[in-house]
Amino acid sequence: MKTNGRIQELLSIRCLNDIEYGHRVIWPLLDYLGVPGDARRPQFQIESPFTTGLLKLDYLIHVGDIPMVTIEGEPRAAQFNEGYRQARNYSRNFKPRQRDCAMREMTVPFLVVAAGERAEMHRAVARGLNIEYEPLLSDGKPAFLDWQELLGEAARIPVFGAPDPRLRRLAAEEIGFRISESQQVLKADAATQFFGDLYAAIDSGAALHDMDDKKIILFNQIVALARHGKTRKIETACRKAGLAARVVKKVTDALSWYERKIEANEFSGAAVARGYRNFLIQPGGRGAPSNFSGTTQHRPVLHRGRIRYREVARYFTPTEVIQQMVRLADPKSAERVIDMTCGSGGFLAECLDRVAQTEGDRKARDFLTKRLVGTDDDPFCVSCSREMLTLMYPDCAEDVHVYLHNCLYRRAPAGGEQKEDADAERHLAPGRYDVVIGNPPGNDEYSGSNRDEVVRRWEEWFGHHRGGLMDHHCFIRRAVELAKPDGGRICLLLPEGLLARDNRGIFDLRHQLLRDCELRAVISLPRVFKNNNAKMAVVYLARNPKWNRRRRVLMASVEMHWSDEDGDEHETDLVAALETLVDRYHSTVEPANSHLAPGEGLVDAPPPATSDDE
């Protein structure tokens, strides 16, 4: 590793802008490290994790088709943290979209951040579900791998996937390459490849054409059976789903490529759950499902004894947004936590991982089996959430509390759209939860199951449904009801219109929230869902009608773009901005409120009349 004075000489060069810094500092630094010119890719294009557009890395260093180092350069030292957060975000969400340059889609193992006179190289390490980057040091000083060392690191990254028939024995040996517990990043990438290969086999037949839900539910069933070595039951499940014999053969072949890893229980743990999540959110059209891309799906439901199909569109909450919302709510192992509409299981998994990281695996297992609950009225989402949590702790698979049930009522109606899980009823009592967290539906019309039953119960609760039955009204009020009355925390991702609109009873809804809860933070976000222009906001509340009116509240907005001092526009690093705001809440806002005594809350004057018009 390089640590000598030549690097400091380069960093001491004063530069006015990014372009000059790249030419006078970054390029000579790569020369010094021995990186050949054909291994450098300036302005390399990758897919944005939040929008449908593309982002550009300042530089990518690669060995063949293996991305090895992302580099972000900034001319001023004060920009180091910003550059680091950008490089980290791009490296752990690396999806290459550069034309005429084949590159693997994987976690980039190293990053370099150079800003003014400061530069560091970091290595990717897994921290539960998350990927972090730790600085390389030698005798306490920043160190950099040279080209020969990077070649050695690349040689240790095996190739996973379907073996070429001419190289079947060699490929099988590589796939059988033992991944140690210290190689969690590699384990996540290998798991993502395994999931992709297995899904491609299921997808190769015509029996489940245009039935993505059924494909994934079958996929989850196969993974669970493979975990226990039940090959015959896998074949039976495939045939029962209508797969032809040749497709069943492809499924068993795909499993055989990873047989040693499955038998060694390598495909378990938080890193593998991350790989599963990465697999689930792949955009449609790239050999993977499109269930969380916003693409309309047709879900079968029962209506008066007959099968009908209802259109649903699912949107995946970006992993990094979930992580920061969990940091904001800060769940503990002794607390009860629920995600009312658990989707892919992202919020549940991140809450579980936070407990594991802060309190250890023993308490995390106890939290998972006794206090963590998810519900959803979508069988596909329930299947995915259960598999996500099971991958984290396979030994707790029988005690995972994820239920097929509409969270808006406790007891399911007779003759409903589907058979709901009666075991969920004991978990849906009012005032039960310390934390209610998630991203509930936000449509202008109620989009869930059993609408007639929800309308009936709504009228029982509130005497009316002024403005029509909107998702906002239903799920936010239910979240407040489920939270403990003496400080239960509510952290939801909601449409920004909730904060500004005054029609369709939304003023009444806001009035009720401030009557029953203390407002802690509102963070408006730019567009975070692909294929959807809705602006969202993180809203953080605590159930407490006697809140002190002197309390401080974090009110912030993250814009899609920002302009530098030269007037050039850049896309905002949402992850870095949100992380900074959550840090500010915990370091500044929360301590400032800690001494406040209970107050009088909202002076409960009748709200003004509002229009029910659209």
Tens digits of residue pLDDT in 525-570: 887 776 667 788 999 999 999 999 899 999 999 887 777 777 777 7
* Ramachandran region, residue 343 (left: φ > 0; alpha: ψ -120 to 50; beta: rest): left
In a domain, 600, yes or no: no
What is the pLDDT, as a whole number, of residue 485? 95
Average pLDDT over residues 486-504: 83
Indicate the SS3 state at residue 376.
Answer: strand
Co-location of 127 and 249 in the same domain = no
Token pair in block for residue 184: 């969690």
User: What is the radius of gyration, based on Cα positions, of the chain?
Assistant: 26
Co-location of 214 and 266 in the same domain = yes
What is the pLDDT, as a whole number, of residue 614? 33
Residue 35 has pLDDT above 90, yes or no: yes
Query: Please, what is the average pLDDT of the chain?
Result: 84
Helix, strand, coil percentages in the chain from 3-state DSSP, rounded to 5: 40, 20, 35
Q: Are 69 and 110 in contact (CB under 8 A)?
A: yes
Q: Which residue has the tokens 């219109």?
A: 497
Average pLDDT over residues 55-76: 93
Token pair in block for residue 401: 């509390």
The model's pTM is 0.82
* Ramachandran region, residue 531 (left: φ > 0; alpha: ψ -120 to 50; beta: rest): left
Which residues, at least 6 apart from 230, have a Cβ–Cβ distance to it below 8 Å?
none
Co-location of 333 and 481 in the same domain = yes
Token pair in block for residue 386: 């259960």
Co-location of 27 and 104 in the same domain = yes
What is the pLDDT, as a whole number, of residue 303? 58
In a domain, 577, yes or no: yes
Q: Are 214 and 208 in contact (CB under 8 A)?
A: yes
Co-location of 193 and 102 in the same domain = no
Token pair in block for residue 507: 């003023």
CA distance 404 to 341: 10
In a domain, 215, yes or no: yes
Co-location of 341 and 396 in the same domain = yes
Does an H or E element contain 368, and which? Answer: helix 361-370
In a domain, 379, yes or no: yes
Q: Provide the CA 32 distance to its chain's centre, in angstroms.
A: 38
Which residues, at least 6 apart from 310, have a Cβ–Cβ distance to it below 8 Å?
298, 299, 301, 417
What is the pLDDT, as a whole number, of residue 222? 95
Average pLDDT over residues 237-241: 94
Co-location of 488 and 351 in the same domain = yes
262-280 pLDDT, tens digit per residue, is 877 778 888 889 888 878 8
- pLDDT-based confidence at residue 317 (cuts at 50, 70, 90): confident
Token pair in block for residue 262: 């499955």
What is the pLDDT, as a whole number, of residue 553? 95
- pLDDT-based confidence at residue 111 (cuts at 50, 70, 90): very high
Which residues, at least 6 apart from 22, have a Cβ–Cβ distance to it below 8 Å?
42, 58, 59, 73
Q: Identify the CA nearest to 190 among candidates 261, 125, 250, 260.
A: 261
Between these two residues, 225 and 459, which has the higher pLDDT value? Answer: 225
Co-location of 572 and 437 in the same domain = yes
Between these two residues, 568 and 606, which has the higher pLDDT value? Answer: 568
Query: What domain range includes position 402?
Result: 322-593
- pLDDT-based confidence at residue 286 (cuts at 50, 70, 90): very low
Q: Which residue has the tokens 């309190």?
A: 359
Co-location of 201 and 78 in the same domain = no
CA distance 177 to 164: 17
In a domain, 313, yes or no: no
DSSP β-ladder status, 54-63 and 40-47: antiparallel
Co-location of 194 and 290 in the same domain = yes
Task: Give the CATH number for residue 540.
Answer: 3.40.50.150
Helices vs. strands in the chain: H and E counts, helices first = 22, 20
In a domain, 599, yes or no: no
Cα–Cα–Cα angle for 188, 33, 118, nearest 5°? 80
Co-location of 361 and 436 in the same domain = yes
Q: Which of 137, 155, 173 is the last residue of a domain?
A: 155
Q: How many structural domains are present in the chain?
A: 3
CA distance 256 to 302: 39
In a domain, 227, yes or no: yes
Cα–Cα–Cα angle for 322, 328, 332, nearest 5°? 95
- pLDDT-based confidence at residue 399 (cuts at 50, 70, 90): very high
Does an H or E element contain 299, and which? Answer: strand 293-303
What is the pLDDT, as a whole number, of residue 193? 83
Q: Identify the CA nearest to 2 among candidates 156, 147, 154.
A: 147
Phi, psi of 164 (to 5 degrees): -65, 130
In a domain, 608, yes or no: no
- pLDDT-based confidence at residue 72 (cuts at 50, 70, 90): very high
Co-location of 487 and 376 in the same domain = yes
* Ramachandran region, residue 182 (left: φ > 0; alpha: ψ -120 to 50; beta: rest): alpha
CA distance 50 to 44: 18
Concatenated DSSP letters of 206-248: STTTT-HHHHHHHHHHHHHHHHTT-HHHHHHHHHHTT--HHHH
